[in-house]
Structure 1
Amino acid sequence: MSKPQFLLSSVAIAVAGFFFTQGVATVATASDKVGFEPTTEQKVTTRQVALLLDKAHYLDQPLDKEMGKKVLSMYYDALDPNRTIFLQSDIDELNAKYADSYAERLKRGDLSAGIEVFERYRTRMNEYYNTAKTLLGTNVNLKTNQSIILDREKEPRFASKDEQLKYWHNQITYTLIGITLGQENDQAKDKAFLDNPELARGQDLVKGDERTPSQILLNRLNRQQQQLARLKNDEIMESVLNNAMLAYDPHSNYYAPVQANEMQIQTNLQLEGIGVSIRPDRKNPDYIRIVSLVDGGPAQKTGQVKANDLILGVAQENGQMVDTVGYTTREIVALIRGAKGTSVTIKIKQPNAPDSSARTVTIVRDVIAQEDAGVHHRVVELPYEGGIKRVGVIEIPSFYLNFKARRSGADINDYRSVSMDTEKAIKALNEQNIDGLVVDLRNNPGGSLDEVVKMLGLFIKEGPLVQIRDNRGNVQVFEDGDGGKQLYTGDMAVLINLGSASASEIFSAAIQDYGRGLVVGNTTTGKGSAQTQRDDLALGSATLTQRKFYRINGGSTQNKGVVPDVELVNIYEGIEFGEREYKNPLEWDTIKPTEYKVEGKYSKSLIDGLIASSKSRQESDPQFKYLLELNAIRALDDDKKPVDVNIDKRRAKNTMIEQKTLMAENARRQATGEKPYTDWATYQASIDALAEERSLMKEHERPKLPESEAYILETARLMFDGKKQIK
């Protein structure tokens, strides 16, 4: 059995949700009771997952009858998050059959109840698709006097079929209105590109889509229905087991083999494949387009694969060619990836060429290092009090570590870790005589506990760094173990936001508690739990919450997160995101603080002064003013309130939102000396061209967006302002 590895990451969320779309409910048919017969491995895996929950989860909550009811309810909500698929009578029927026995079934390795629930869902979805197609074959009235609530998560399930049919018709009509208005917008952008070719930045961005809105929606529904039909038994098992784990907390997860491989890639920063990045084609999303090739990767070495090629099919070594038109990127990635040294054949063609011109290319898979995904550093010059301050910036996307390589005893120089990469970045910045350092942890989901402890040791001289408590109340204190070494001793600040989670919260909390630096930005996710990664299952892998971590001052970051010393504009304002929005989050609490020596001291009066001066700057800074206005515009839409199913009313509201958005954009352009956009279509065309251009660049080579860079500059200014007053 492999040694459990503690993970501190918010990446581990529900993974089976890619097919949980809005759907349907009608009278049950016999077909929804015909599922698959689980294999021995699937049954063993089910027993293993049930045992982990019953005996090893942090909550110490047995998987008993009452918990089984909660698990089953969680599964309904995962399949039907908007409560448009199952009728209340469906839930009553399934509960009568399975609620009391659901937990015991899982512990026996019996997946039959979960399979029947899923097959009922699949039957309903197919009925919904057929209903939608029938409606789209008619002349749909887009000017109704109806309204619809888009977010029905808190609404009751439909009590009758008639009530549900009315909702479906409104929902389909509302979707068709959106596509119609979107197509009008695309046509206006096409005209802008044709009238002003310079807007396209040398790219072919004219869509020229001749399909009707009904045809576009029909194609979309067909793709979704085909994807549903292609779901494999392992993926259905994943949906059942993953939601059993999510009933305990948001970060305990089960991953089927394909998804388990994805998780390893995220934490290891390497993969075994052919070295291409892909995404749906902009003009025809039935096709998946190759966006770029990795320098020196297997695909590039063939000389036969080009950027912009469309993928028509994939064949495994000695296998049949699979027609992948209509496949998702996830499905194609699963086909392309495989063991190093094996071959895969792809069928590709150039855009605007007939399928008959397609060519096949056989490529030998190899390990592809994701160099672009790691730590990056740079120097920013900040005008400050009549001079220039040289600010070092270290961008840390995650606390990554190649666990597999480390466990196998590989040499430390042969694999990547965030602490080693950060150490190199600090040394490089020290040589450039920086005046201060900003550690950018925005949208960093976390990662390895060991790595965040090593990272903190680079900045803190000595002392405790984080506390971990298990479900029996045992507390372990992680200390800085480098003998008092401190690679960086200068001024520093940490930039965080709502997307900063777990290991990011440990790092920023320790810096804040020691007074080692200023913490700036927005309150973090609030993911204060630690998971073990279990690779010892019969199929796939799991992450299981077994510990909670605490600051050295005794407070948990769970739920509450890390509150910054100085708040900046919150780009996630009004968006349901973070631990506080998840179902079944662990509670916030405190334990005994550790003994530690504060390195710096930011007094309350000092912080209050920094807050006041920063607020004044944000209110006048063009970038922050722009972001504040976008927050206000976003608040105009509330999916929990009824919206009109009428194209004229929706067009009028869209026009109002477009005008406000364009005014906000032009205000900041004028404030920064740029030429304002003449109209919405020109603005949108320019945005599309810029996005396309940036997508072809490596991440660290993309010019920084001014609204993002404003956070770096304001954080640095606060750091220097604080230095003048700190005692």
Structure 2
Amino acid sequence: MAAVRDLSITVGLLVALAGAPALAQEREPAAPLPLNELRTFTEVLERIRTSYVEEVDDATLLENAIRGMLEGLDPHSAYLEPEAFQGLQDTTTGQFGGLGLEVGQEDGFIKVISPIDDTPASRAGIEPGDLIVKIDDHPVKGMSLMDAVDRMRGPAGSKITLTLVRGAGRPFDVELERAVIRVRSVRTDTLEPGYAYLRITQFQNNTGDEVRRSLATLKEQGELKGLIMDLRNNPGGVLQSAVEVADAFLSDGLIVYTKGRLPNSELRFNATAANPGGDLPLVVLINGGSASASEIVAGALQDRGRAVIMGTDSFGKGSVQTVLPLNNDRALKLTTALYYTPNGRSIQAQGIEPDIVVQRAQLTRDADEVSYREADLLGHLNNGNGDGQERPTVRTPATGANAERDADYQLNQALNLLKGLNITRRQ
């Protein structure tokens, strides 16, 4: 993913800067260069230099050729110019400019992978899977991903209009105001006494440490009976941070491994004995916006039987990108390996299938519902337990945090499952 300072979006998915294999010193024997294709290349270059309607300098033509080489490989490989290279580093530290979108390219359009929490994009209601078909009335069909990014750049406070298509619906416009995006990687909440919620927005350099600190804080607040880890709409991030998060709930064994063409691209990441999560009952929520590092965590915890995975199929981005610095503050973002779950499953274009499929939905309560019980009947017998408390006849709707939780059907179902897991553990 190429992110840029004051960038409208970050491109693709957050790249695995840490833990990704570097270029090996020992390379496969180079095949002979295809002379016919090289002759064609130089002929095309010369024709453009002499015949194109406007004069184009050689440096621009060569940079365009390099960019085309990378963009023709896969959606996640790219040639990063200085601004894009700097912006990419900004995203892994949690602060960058833009709208707060993670995007890729599909059928010539820009596809939203995930909006980032608490950003202009998420507040505007942009959803995973939305297609961006116009940027300020400029059609994106035929644009490269980086060209689209350039059009969406702009200073914080400036406005931009995106034309989106959702599903089979008609195009609609969304006006957004660019902002400096400060991403909070981890946040926690108490759903009910003993049951906690841990949301990971994206995997930054310090996410593993934040998760461990959050677990320690939750335990200090009282008995912890179960935890929901929410990875929905988490587009990924730093590979090493994903390993550290999974390690917080595993005491040993394999977490993830990578395989590529280079000898040192075959890496294995194992859990350590320091797991603050212990054997705490754990439910992990995923959806189509969960990608890359999110899928590593979900896949590891699923294969190791450490958590119940709930929600819908994840995105399926199972490749590792290595950032290779070049001269003049430029870099290559190159796909160098695929990663696999402990059981040998490749996530690439497959994703993680949840153990329990729960589609997105919303619960509504009937405010006029009246519930009667035996204790409400006039002259009912007492139970002999000394419980003389009167019970309310009308059950009032939930408010505040409980109402917000109940409105999130997947989260509500995860909490119910977590309670069930805790009950069976006590038996």
What TM-score comes out, normalization by structure 2 length? Answer: 0.58
Distance 1:447 1:115, change over 3 A: farther
Shift of 1:266: 1.1
- 3-state SS of paired residue (1:532): strand
2:231 to 429, 435, 441: 441
Which amino acid in the other structure matches residue 347 of structure 2? T
Q: Which residue of 2 aligns with 1:377?
A: 188
Distance 1:531 1:103, change over 3 A: farther
Q: Is the 2:202–2:235 contact (alpha carbons within 8 Å) kept by the matching residues of 1? A: yes
1:526 to 2:316 alignment: yes
1:721 to 2:401 alignment: no
C-alpha distance in structure 1 between counterparts of 2:301 and 2:208, whole Å: 16
Which amino acid in the other structure matches residue 252 of structure 1? S
Shift of 1:721: 2.7
1:13 to 2:12 alignment: yes
For 1:152-163, what aligned pairs fall within 5 Å after superposition?
Answer: none
Residues 314-367 of structure 1 deviation map (CA, whole Å, 9 limit, x = unaligned): xxxxxxxxxxxxx966133699xxxxxxxxxxxxxxxxxxxxxxxxxxxxxxxx
1:244 to 58, 61, 69: 69
C-alpha distance in structure 2 between counterparts of 1:712 and 1:237, whole Å: 51
1:563 to 334, 353, 374: 353
Shift of 1:532: 0.8
2:257 to 438, 453, 467: 467
Q: Which residue of 1 aligns with 2:334?
A: 544
Residues 161-190 of structure 1 deviation map (CA, whole Å, 9 limit, x = unaligned): xxxxxxxxxxxxxxxxxxxxxxxxxxxxxx
C-alpha distance in structure 2 between counterparts of 1:114 and 1:394, whole Å: 56
Distance 1:374 1:568, change over 3 A: same
Distance 1:115 1:246, change over 3 A: farther
2:214 to 416, 425, 444: 425
- 3-state SS of paired residue (1:558): coil
Structure whose alpha-carbon radius of gyration is higher: 1
- 3-state SS of paired residue (1:421): helix
Q: Which residue of 1 aligns with 2:307?
A: 517
1:391 to 195, 198, 206: 195
Q: Which residue of 2 aligns with 1:5?
A: none
Shift of 1:242: 3.8
- 3-state SS of paired residue (2:408): helix
Distance 1:708 1:549, change over 3 A: farther
For 1:626-641, what aligned pairs fall within 5 Å after superposition?
Answer: none
Which amino acid in the other structure matches residue 569 of structure 1? Q
Residues 633-664 of structure 1 deviation map (CA, whole Å, 9 limit, x = unaligned): xxxxxxxxxxxxxxxxxxxxxxxxxxxxxxxx
Shift of 1:113: 7.8
C-alpha distance in structure 2 between counterparts of 1:440 and 1:466, whole Å: 20
Shift of 1:538: 2.9
1:476 to 2:267 alignment: yes
- The gaps in structure 1 that reach 5 residues or longer are 1-9, 16-51, 67-98, 123-231, 279-291, 293-326, 336-367, 382-388, 402-416, 571-617, 625-667, 675-701
Shift of 1:561: 0.9
Shift of 1:419: 0.8
- 3-state SS of paired residue (1:373): coil
- 3-state SS of paired residue (2:283): strand
- The gaps in structure 2 that reach 5 residues or longer are 1-8, 15-22, 101-117, 119-149, 159-178, 369-400
What TM-score comes out, normalization by structure 1 length? Answer: 0.36
The sequence identity of aligned pairs, in percent, is 24
Distance 1:240 1:439, change over 3 A: farther
1:712 to 407, 411, 415: 411
Distance 1:13 1:241, change over 3 A: farther
C-alpha distance in structure 1 between counterparts of 2:243 and 2:230, whole Å: 17
Q: Is the 2:13–2:291 contact (alpha carbons within 8 Å) kept by the matching residues of 1? A: no
Q: Is the 2:286–2:312 contact (alpha carbons within 8 Å) kept by the matching residues of 1? A: yes
Which amino acid in the other structure matches residue 204 of structure 2? Y
Equivalent residue pairs, number = 303
C-alpha distance in structure 1 between counterparts of 2:349 and 2:30, whole Å: 20
2:275 to 483, 486, 490: 486
Shift of 1:399: 1.1
2:92 to 246, 267, 274: 267
Shift of 1:525: 1.2
Q: Is the 1:461–1:485 contact (alpha carbons within 8 Å) kept by the matching residues of 2? A: yes
For 1:19-168, what aligned pairs fall within 5 Å after superposition?
Answer: 100-101=37-38, 104=41
Q: Is the 2:302–2:309 contact (alpha carbons within 8 Å) kept by the matching residues of 1? A: yes
